[in-house]
Amino acid sequence: MRIKKVARCILLAGQIFGLFFLTFYSFGQKPAKWKGKTATVDGVLVIKNPKTPLYSSAEVKLTEELKIGESEGQPEYMFGRIAGIAVDDPGCIYVADDKTIDIKVYDPKGAYLRTIGRAGQGPGEIGRPYDVFVNSRNELLIPDGKNYKLHVFSLDGKFLQAKSFGARFPEMTAYSPKGQLYVLSFGGDFSTGTYFELVKLDEDLNPLTVLHRIDIPPGGPLRESLDDKIPLFCVQSDGNLVMGFPKRDEYSLRVINSEGKVLKIISRDFEPVPIPKEDLEKARESRPSGMTFELPTYFPGFSRLVADDKGKIFALTAPLSLTMKSFFWDVFDAEGRYLANIRLPGSVWHLSNMKNGLLWKGGKLYVVEEDKDGYHIVKRYAVEWILR
């Protein structure tokens, strides 16, 4: 027994050292003293972060390298409404537009190359693109929220095949480097009951693992009153899924491997931020007649999750406003330590509608933003971390 206890202590010490080494090696900064705690409970690494980040004066210096999009001019550079962006290894940019119903492709310098897909229901036609991904075989994957399909194209625009989601409405999707899709779907029938379900699918869209499901009886609660029960999620560069719920009394993330096993739980102490009274009044006034659910008085601990290509986790935090052009994100390293709270640009439409408008690739940040007239544009930034 004593030998086993000593072995466990050595293992835990190694894990803690790994947290420090990986964090500071990846950012190139001098070590700071982390004030959180780690423990292993039933084989799961539990990481408890304090309220304040490791770096209290952190910032990200962004240098704009590229801008694509214009409100007037050449149609190849005009977007209706961007549903998602993807970037391949050479740096070409793929922009899914759910107004023009196509994918526009640009080279690394922003020059227009081609348009992929068109509106319709036939082969190579798209009902409504909900996102866009480049998989490990250099194919373009396009979840279709109208035709309930996953369209597959070559990167040069050749239609390869379409796979059916069946009865699953792909409300939110994330692609794993291991070739799997995580899909938050809405299904069922209002007369017999509906559901929200987060499921992992294989490349043929066969369900492998149900990670979360909430069943709603006929006449049950509305979507707006279920927000803290519907998961947010993203996929790290190693294929692990990060899942959490936008609760107002808890800040907790689960890291789950491709087999569905919980590897670690990441938490952070926080104080809920009250929603301004004027925003609550506007929400009450805009609520359709017949909706009687109680409006929350506090923002959730986080309301969006994104991962970069180094494994860091970004959680969107309050305050939020429809007029904001930049937003605050909690940053956790790949091991789960709370590093910083930083400000990043973005589009409130994408962040509130869980669309893919923020992408990290090759040390660059690709963001969907809005110009002064509200038109969508894509920008690429060089990134410099300043942690102190």
Q: What is the pLDDT of residue 372?
A: 87
Asked if 251 and 235 count as a contact pair (C-beta separation under 8 A), the reply is no
Bridge partners of residue 235, in order along the sequence: 241
Residue in the structure block whose two tokens are 């962006």: 85
Burial 305-327 (b: 16+ CB within 10 A, else e): bbbbeebbbbbbbbebeeeeeeb
CA 89 to chain centre: 20
The string of DSSP codes covering 238-276 is TS-EEEE---SS--EEEEE-TTS-EEEEEEE---PPBPP
Each residue's pLDDT tens digit, 88-138: 999 999 999 999 999 999 999 999 999 999 999 999 999 999 999 999 899
Best CA proximity match to 301, nearest among 247, 380, 254, 345: 247
Q: What is the pLDDT of residue 240?
A: 94
Q: What is the pLDDT of residue 356?
A: 84
Each residue's pLDDT tens digit, 223-274: 667 778 999 999 999 999 999 999 999 999 999 998 889 999 999 999 998 8
Regions of the chain short of the pLDDT cut 50: 1-26
3-state DSSP call for residue 279? helix
Q: What is the pLDDT of residue 3?
A: 43
Domain ranges of the chain: 2-68+165-386
